[in-house]
Amino acid sequence: MFTGNYAINMDAKGRMAVPTRIREGLVELCAGRLVVTAHTEDPCLLVYPESRWLEILPSIQALPAMNKAARRVQRLLIGHACPLELDGNGRILVPPTLRAHAQLDKKLMLAGLGEKLELWDEAAWTAQMQEPGDDQLPEELQSLVL
């Protein structure tokens, strides 16, 4: 279970230190083996523990081939997916292609969202957070009790 958001820095080699709290979860869940891919709706990266990725992969593959939006989602998720591991110091090295997709600069934001993580450029994260959710509120949200 991943929660919280963490400001992290990317060093000159493109390495980023995974916060300890997140790292612990990753190690016990999947021995530090992750899959990073592109988010379909927002300019950020999705980070899955390998075990969770393998669970959702079939449902992405099963999408109808004749639907344009479905093909787009498949190309983004499966086509960008890249397996990677924590190094000896608990850091990950995100490939340049994915870095470009999320426009990752030096200052990043890692956010735990339950079973997955999102990796944002810090500025983009802040902007996204301040933007009002102007979509129609779905039924589930209107009745949400917090």
- Contact set with a copy of itself (CB under 8 A): 3-7, 35, 37, 40-42, 46, 56-57, 59-64, 66-83, 95, 97, 111-116, 118, 128-129, 131, 133-138, 140-141, 144-146
- The CA-CA-CA angle for residues 47, 125, 5, to 5°, reads 60
Q: How many residues are given for the chain?
A: 146
DSSP state of 102: T
**x-marked contacts with DNA along 2-31 as a string, rule CB under 7 A:** ------xx-xxx---xxxx--x--------
Lookup: tokens for 114: 């339950």
End-to-end CA distance of the chain: 19
Nearer to a copy of itself, 89 or 135 (CB): 135
Least separation, in Å, of the C-beta of 39 and DNA?
Answer: 23
User: How far out from the chain centre does Cα 127 lie?
Assistant: 17
The binder of 23, among a copy of itself, DNA, none, by C-beta within 5 to 8 A per type, is DNA
For residue 108, how many other CB atoms are within 10 A of its CB? Answer: 24
Question: Which residues of this protein are in contact with DNA, per CB under 7 A?
Answer: 8-9, 11-13, 17-20, 23, 87-91, 93, 96
